[in-house]
Amino acid sequence: MAENGTDKKGRKDDTLWDTIKTVFYAVLVALLVRTFAYEPFNIPSGSMIPTLLVGDYLFVSKYSYGYSRYSLPWGLPLIPGRIFYEEPERGDIAVFKHPRHPSSDYIKRIIGLPGDTIQVTDGVLHINGEPVERRRIDDYVFHDDNGNVQRVKQYVETLPNGVKHRIIEETDSGSLDDTRKYQVPKGHFFMMGDNRDNSLDSRVLAGVGYVPKQNLVGEAQVLFFSTNGDAALWEVWNWPFAIRWNRLFDTVS
């Protein structure tokens, strides 16, 4: 017995509606995960070298520090202050909204907690009046834009809570290597890049300055992709050589 036109139309309508519902639920789940669990970010600048490289892609934990309006898409002002707040630890690598330009995402290391005194003298970081230990290790070696091999002094810095991380210093007499004393206000954090001579961070009060806790987006946790930029999107044949395979799924610290 042949189907009539009404039955065929009804089946097509049902299929279309099922497809729309599937797409809607998929988008909703992705939005919820991105808002409350993990959000992907990429590294566009070298301010966190050697820890993070240009072309790194990482997941940021949105729940690590609780939630604020900046946890929501487009920074919708639906959350007053910060809820479910967990205090960051010194040494965390955090994504945050620029205090003066909230549409811009920055990523730096949390160096100063509320109430801390921070100062850099002759390139050495001081926290609450005490110099932070830094131990010289092998130079950081990289190729510049012209393909030339460059070497930069590299150190392991040990923060007061025992967190160890690498930093690089081109010089100890740069514009940000001798600073004033900074008193971190209540509810704010002092952020610095690991590439100490090439980072716009809290040392520049007219730039980034102190970062309010409401501006924290989340803690950087794991790299899921990394490319050196040598392959364009359409150069599929070059992708395997541009991917930094040794960095995939590394934890961020």
Q: Which residues are catalytic?
A: 47, 108
| Alpha-carbon dihedral sign for residues 68, 69, 74, 76 | positive
User: Could you tell me which residues come within 8 angstroms of residue 40 by beta carbon, excluding any fewer than 6 positions away?
Assistant: 57, 58, 59, 60, 224
Q: Closest Cα to residue 181, out of 122, 114, 117?
A: 117
* Secondary structure E strands in 56-181: 56-61, 67-68, 82-83, 93-97, 105-112, 117-121, 124-127, 130-131, 133-143, 149-158, 164-169
Tokens representing 73 are: 């898409």
> Which H or E element spans position 16?
helix 5-36
d(CA 115, CA 26): 44
Tokens representing 20 are: 């729309």
